[in-house]
Amino acid sequence: MEKIIETKLINFDNYNNALFEAVEVLKSGELVAFPTETVYGLGADGLNPDAILKIFKTKGRKSDNPLILHISDLEMLKKLTIQPLNDIIKIAEKYWPGPLTIILKKSKIVPDEITAGLDTVAIRMPDNKFALDLIKNLDRPVAAPSANLSGKPSPTDAATCMKDLDGKIPLIIDGGNTRFGLESTVVDLTQKPYAILRPGAITYEELKDFLGDVEIDSHILGKSETPRAPGQKYTHYAPEASAYLVSGSNSEKLEKIKEFIKENKDIKIGILASEEFLKDVENSIEKYNLGSIEDLETYGSLIFRGLRDLDDRKVDVIICEAVDETGLGLAIMNRLKKSTGNKFI
């Protein structure tokens, strides 16, 4: 039988106390859920193999899916890789702290439990004061995938972490809603051309501008079966309800939804879409407003929250509005395709 732990939820009313408690939990080899600027992370001491294994067990994460190490300064970076750092430092200085994860050749101190046996390691410096203070005070890198059960939408607030992890970890830190609500962009810098293995808040267009030679892993573009980031092959971000995408012009989308309702009587339908589209959708449908289609940063930041919210309203089906796969749209569609199993109505 799994041991039930009492899970404490603390906020920043006393910031120093929250920080102290979180550091103590990590030092003792246990897990803490904490805010970052992307989504909430489930943190462990990144150099402690037993603690790292607890992440896999707690989330139900597949053991071949490597973790990201979070750092608070470039001195930590130097210890984690054997790659020459000249070019890498320029990239780090441009994007860190921020939602860019880089893959480098690992050094000996990186545990195999982090990399799932690969000879490369994923590293990021998060842009969140609490996350940075936590790493700085532990004085070691912090391993932190999203703080949800594997397969479910990632948590963008502490209450959602509590829903998934209550009774499983000793501490959750409430730092409010996360800014991006989408995971970091993962870019492989071990070989040229550099390659985006997972789209995220830092866009392909931006990276191409800065790095010059960068490609997108063909798996993301739907052109190959095997992704270079092991995690991309798994079902992800799935709500309880069956989920579908809908695409086309507004009138085409409305027509497809009408048709879907006709074919699926007596089911409760929810829709996750822009305010521009939602105003034309009939009111018998449960709506979740992602804001303006012109503001993809807000749109993307609300996707996971919206999927969870519609699940809470007990809909049977969630229909998600597709966006163009350019700029932030590439990351948004990557998540929505996984949430829906790439099914369109």
Q: Which residues bind ligand AMP (CB under 6 A)?
A: 65-66, 68, 103, 115, 118, 120-122, 145-146, 183, 186, 197-198, 228-232
Closest alpha carbon to 186 in 67, 61, 325, 342: 67
**What does DSSP assign to residue 344?**
B
Cβ at position 211, least distance to ligand AMP in Å = 17
Nearer to ligand AMP, 198 or 287 (CB): 198
Residue 186 interacts with, from Mg ion, ligand AMP, none (CB under 5-8 Å by kind): ligand AMP
Cβ at position 147, least distance to Mg ion in Å = 9
CA distance 99 to 113: 23
Nearer to ligand AMP, 202 or 317 (CB): 202
Structure tokens at 133: 């203070």
Under the binding rule (CB under 5 A), the answer on residue 146 touching Mg ion is yes
Nearer to ligand AMP, 32 or 103 (CB): 103
Helices and strands in the chain, H and E counts? 12, 15
Site for Mg ion (CB under 5 A): how many residues? 2
Peptide bond into 193 cis (omega under 30): yes
Residue 239 interacts with, from Mg ion, ligand AMP, none (CB under 5-8 Å by kind): none
Cβ at position 172, least distance to ligand AMP in Å = 17
Burial status of residue 344 (CB atoms within 10 A of its CB: 0-12, 13-18, 19 or more): middle
Cβ at position 170, least distance to ligand AMP in Å = 21
Nearer to Mg ion, 35 or 145 (CB): 145
Per CB under 5 A, which region of 121-129, 138-146, 174-182, 272-280 contacts Mg ion?
138-146
Order of strands across the sheet with 242-246? Answer: 242-246, 317-321, 269-273, 286-289
Cβ at position 156, least distance to ligand AMP in Å = 13
Closest alpha carbon to 99 in 244, 269, 300, 288: 300
Cβ at position 60, least distance to ligand AMP in Å = 12
Nearer to Mg ion, 61 or 287 (CB): 61
Nearer to ligand AMP, 220 or 245 (CB): 220
CA distance 48 to 293: 44
The pairing of beta strand 194-198 with beta strand 185-188: antiparallel
Closest alpha carbon to 336 in 209, 208, 200, 238: 238
Judged by DSSP in three states, 327 sits in: coil
* Residue that the structure tokens 């990632």 belong to: 154
Residue of minimal Cβ distance to Mg ion: 146
Residue 51 interacts with, from Mg ion, ligand AMP, none (CB under 5-8 Å by kind): none
Residues forming contacts to Mg ion in the complex (CB under 5 A) are 145-146
